[in-house]
């Protein structure tokens, strides 16, 4: 007799990203939903990966990550943020940023703990909290700029608050926290032992202004896991390599989880990233200008099609208000967008526990070739025809 286990995640199905990508593939639509580039990785990085394979870096990497890569990460942090970072005790390489986020939550959240998330929230956060036995407390970001409601945060902080999860630059909103916001968070947490998990995977894709990392705020850095992604920075999301920077005591706890989740991460890619960081630090420094041009290119097409745009200060996503094109839930509009225009987007309501009923927003990814963005624009013109 078949046995049906009691689900530990009963409310979780296939992610919206997989769903929309599948529908785009089935219907021949341009996929501006899932966040991945459709252009190649840097040629030199691809060559370095091949070199690493041919040199024999094909067995397990050290559990915390290849030493050369951890040193390169520490040097990058020092160069960008003016912060000392010990690669031996503070940097851990993981199989994607999602693993780093999961490991951090499992390392410190216990049954009965509360974890504060800010809606709209990336969909990987709450399942990790649930699996750790914690309870997600979801606070809405303020409209229209998607900032933190400081009074609601103060009211939510309590004896059970174990962790606050930040995301800056923010997916899906494209909002960016500034140093003043980090200072205010530090002030709110000062009398407490609450920890911070800062998802900064788009740290190098800040299009307006500069990235303010939790690593630059001394009080927060002492109590924080800071997660980033090589895949986002180097156009290779399929390589699934990220890293976490944290104080030694938190790193030790994270590594206890990491060693029993993946143990080690793809070794030749780590070698390639280390060498590329050493050879071409200009790559991540030039990303803002590279993506700013793409954001503005897509923005022109979306506005011509009748969308009203929200500011996109960071990430490679653009939120678009379709209220002048249709008055229907975003899930229905996104479905119709595929059928009518042949373009796939993400309905923003899926990032909320309780989405605002009058909100009419979808998310487009502009990490695409110019030709892809232009063809998307041409197709979207049909919405206002």
Q: What is the pLDDT of residues 318-368, one digit of tens each?
A: 999 999 999 999 999 999 999 999 999 999 999 999 999 999 999 999 999
User: Under 8 Å CB-to-CB from 347, ≥6 apart: which residues?
Assistant: 16, 329, 330, 331, 333, 334, 361, 362, 363
For residues 288-302, give the mean pLDDT. 98
Q: CB–CB of 313/175 below 8 Å?
A: yes
pLDDT category of residue 2 using cuts at 50, 70 and 90: confident
Q: What value does the mean pLDDT take over residues 216-229? A: 98
What is the C-alpha to C-alpha distance for residues 348 and 354, in angstroms, rounded to an integer? 11
Give the pairing of strands 343-344 and 135-140.
unpaired
Position 74 pLDDT exceeds 90: yes
Pairwise CA distance, residues 245 & 86, whole Å = 9
Helix (H, G, I), strand (E, B) or coil at 89: coil
pLDDT reported for residue 263: 97
Distances (CA, A) of 100 to 150, 253, 261: 27, 12, 10
Q: What confidence score (pLDDT) does residue 13 get?
A: 80
Please determine, for residue 21, whether its predicted confidence score (pLDDT) is greater than 90. Answer: no
pLDDT tens by residue, 117-170 = 999 999 999 999 999 999 999 999 999 999 999 999 999 999 999 999 999 999
- What is the percentage of the chain residues whose pLDDT exceeds 90? 92
Tell me which DSSP letter residue 306 carries.
Answer: T
HSE at residue 282, side-chain half, CA atoms within 13 A, is 3
pLDDT tier at 217, thresholds 50, 70, 90: very high
pLDDT tens per residue, range 26-59: 989 999 999 999 999 999 999 999 999 999 999 9
User: What is the DSSP code (8-state) at residue 63?
Assistant: T
According to the model, what pLDDT value does residue 27 have? 87
Is residue 250 scored above 90 in pLDDT? Answer: yes
The rounded distance, in Å, linking the Cα atoms of 41 and 52 is 16
Q: Identify the pLDDT of residue 376.
A: 97
pLDDT for 188-203, tens place per residue?
999 999 999 999 999 9
Structure tokens that stand for 260 in this block: 């029993």
Predicted TM-score of the model (pTM) = 0.96
Q: Is 151 exposed, middle or buried (0-12, 13-18, 19+ CB in 10 A)?
A: exposed
Is residue 240 very low, low, confident or very high in pLDDT (cuts 50, 70, 90)?
very high
Average pLDDT over residues 224-253: 98
Domains of the chain in sequence order? 16-41+284-384 (3.90.1150.10), 44-279 (3.40.640.10)
pLDDT at 385 over 70: no
Spell out the alpha helix ranges (H) of 190-247.
Answer: 218-221, 230-233
Whole-number Å distance between alpha carbons of 216 and 218: 6
For residue 173, give every residue at least 6 positions away whose Cβ sits within 8 Å of its Cβ, in sequence order, or none.
120, 141, 146, 310, 319
Of the candidates 130, 91, 98, the residue with the CA atom closest to the CA atom of residue 114: 130
Q: Is the pLDDT of residue 96 over 80?
A: yes
Distances in Å between the Cα of 89 and the Cα atoms of 67, 196, 251, 257, 328 are: 11, 18, 7, 15, 51
């Amino acid at each position: 007799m078949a046995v049906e286990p009691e689900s530990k995640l009963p409310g979780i199905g296939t992610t919206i990203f997989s769903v929309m990508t599948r529908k785009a593939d089935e219907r021949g639509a341009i996929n501006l939903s899932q966040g991945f580039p459709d252009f190649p990785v840097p040629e030199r990085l691809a060559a370095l990966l091949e070199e690493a394979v041919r040199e024999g870096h094909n067995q397990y990497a050290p559990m915390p990550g290849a030493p050369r890569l951890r040193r390169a990460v520490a040097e990058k942090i020092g160069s960008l943020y003016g912060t000392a970072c010990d690669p031996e005790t503070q940097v851990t390489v993981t199989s994607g940023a999602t693993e780093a986020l999961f490991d951090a939550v499992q390392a410190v959240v216990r049954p009965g703990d509360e974890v504060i998330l800010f809606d709209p929230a990336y969909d990987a956060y709450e399942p990790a909290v649930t699996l750790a036995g914690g309870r997600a407390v979801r606070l809405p970001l303020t409209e229209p700029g998607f900032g933190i409601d400081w009074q609601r945060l103060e009211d939510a902080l309590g004896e059970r608050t174990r962790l606050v999860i930040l995301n800056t630059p923010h997916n899906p909103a494209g909002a960016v926290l500034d140093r003043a916001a980090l200072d205010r968070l530090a002030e709110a947490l000062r009398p407490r032992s609450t920890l911070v998990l800062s998802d900064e995977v788009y740290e190098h894709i800040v299009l307006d202004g500069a990235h303010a990392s939790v690593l630059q705020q001394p009080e927060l850095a002492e109590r924080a896991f800071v997660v980033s992604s090589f895949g986002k920075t180097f156009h290779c999301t399929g390589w699934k390599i990220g890293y976490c920077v944290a104080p030694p005591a938190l790193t030790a706890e994270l590594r206890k989880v990491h060693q029993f989740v993946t143990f080690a991460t793809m070794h030749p890619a780590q070698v390639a990233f280390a060498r590329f960081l050493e050879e071409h630090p200009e790559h991540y420094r030039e990303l803002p200008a590279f993506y700013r041009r793409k954001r503005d290119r897509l923005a022109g097409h979306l506005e011509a099609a009748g969308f009203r745009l929200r500011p996109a200060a960071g990430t490679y996503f653009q939120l678009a208000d379709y209220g002048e094109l249709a008055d229907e839930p975003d899930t229905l509009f996104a479905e119709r967008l595929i059928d009518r225009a042949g373009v796939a987007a993400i309905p923003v309501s899926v990032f909320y526990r309780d989405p605002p009923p009058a909100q009419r927003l979808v998310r487009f990814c502009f990490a695409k070739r110019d030709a892809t963005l232009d063809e998307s624009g041409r197709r979207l013109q049909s919405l206002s025809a």
